[in-house]
Amino acid sequence: MAVSGFEGFEKRLELHFFGDDPEEVMGLRLLNFDSLQQVLHAVQCTVVSAVGNHYFDSYVLSESSLFVYPTKIIIKTCGTTQLLKSIRPLINHARHLGLTLCSCRYTRGNFIFPKSQPFPHTSFKDEVIYLEDCLPSNLCYRKASVMPSKSGSHSWHVFTAADNGLMMIHHHLPPPHQELFTFEICMTELDRVSAAKFYRRAGDGKSGDLAGKEMTELTGIGNINPSALICDFGFDPCGYSMNGIDGDRYSTIHVTPEDGYSYASFECVGSVYDDHEDVVQVLKKVVQVFRPATMSISTTCSSHEVWTCVAGAVESLGLKCRSCTVDEFPAAGNVVFQTFTARRK
């Protein structure tokens, strides 16, 4: 942990692969646990719990989360982890399974303690140089951008890369490939009463699993998607992580409740065909759990305009939209970055 405080803002990496079999059933899910641990060792985090279903495997990590689908892997890590060091070992392990990398997306917000980050996370420029160096030459469509907001302290860093084949077919992909969207939500200055629920009582003797379960119920996190199977963990003395799995969709929440650098994140994947009212309800429930003074929502989507329901949902709960930036990225589609602050600010 950094001397200054725990860095809540996560780094997030999404890699897509393809193989000879277009109907790849197990693919990356065949990676054995030792191989995954080797990858995580390079990143400097460990698995604290795991659960899987018919569609994918989900891991809660000591620093955030990992999701493994047959041809897609998503790793999100916080603190002083070196997430980008996972890329080379992942490409190598995938190659042994007959899978080739075809796209990469790396995103993050602004670190609270940027000086505590180790290489290659020392700056976005260093991260992009490192990414460029790790990625194979077939991923030739590349773009890096820092999406700004009105407040200089919030910006959204995005790097994507895609191979030629993917770019050729991208605009003609049938559902479900084009129908997914991702929300990445970052919240700071959490309401103190809400944040206090993510502290454990000293010497409670509970396991991290039990402490996590109690936090899920006490805070209302369990109601955000009542049909999700939740894998949760309560850290000692404070902190919380959860992965929710619902069919082929994941959601994930991580909380750093310490006063002075409190932070919570929510991420989920959805379909553009979802009822917008359901999407609005999820966003509202997230705001109600944490009541942050500052919030950013990044919506990534290759089609349709799901992001248009975001501001209305959040503003109805006393936050005001301060900025909205849109950019387009190879194979990722549109990224819409919106920032909000409490009206009292």
Ligand X SMILES: C[S@+](CC[C@H](N)C(=O)[O-])C[C@H]1O[C@@H](n2cnc3c(N)ncnc32)[C@H](O)[C@@H]1O
Residue 271 falls in the annotated catalytic set: no
CA-CA-CA-CA dihedral for 30, 243, 60, 77, to nearest 10? 100
Q: Which of 24, 57, 63, 267 contacts ligand X by CB under 6 A? A: 63
Residue 65 falls in the annotated catalytic set: no
Least gap, CB of 60 to ligand X (angstroms): 9
Q: CA nearest 104: which of 135, 81, 79, 150?
A: 135
Residues between 167 and 206 that touch ligand X (CB under 6 A): none
232 binds ligand X (CB under 6 A): no
290 binds ligand X (CB under 6 A): no
Residues between 247 and 266 that touch ligand X (CB under 6 A): 254-258, 263, 265
For residue 179, say whether it is annotated as part of any ligand binding site: no
43 binds ligand X (CB under 6 A): no
Give the end-to-end CA distance of the chain in Å, rounded to a whole number.
30
Q: Which of 36, 78, 268, 289 contacts ligand X by CB under 6 A? A: 78
Cα 4 to Cα 202: distance, rounded to the nearest angstrom: 23
Q: Are 55 and 69 in contact (CB under 8 A)?
A: yes
Residue 241 falls in the annotated catalytic set: yes
Residue 64 falls in the annotated catalytic set: yes
Grouping H, G, I as helix, E, B as strand and the rest as coil, residue 182 is strand
Q: Which residue out of 64, 65, 251, 302 is catalytically annotated?
A: 64
Q: Which of 224, 238, 242, 336 contacts ligand X by CB under 6 A? A: 238
What is the phi-psi region of residue 239: left when phi exceeds 0, alpha when psi lies from -120 to 50, beta otherwise?
A: left
Q: Are 115 and 27 in contact (CB under 8 A)?
A: no
Which residues lie near ligand X (CB under 6 A)? 6, 8, 10, 62-64, 78, 235, 238-239, 241, 254-258, 263, 265
List active site positions: 64, 78, 241, 254
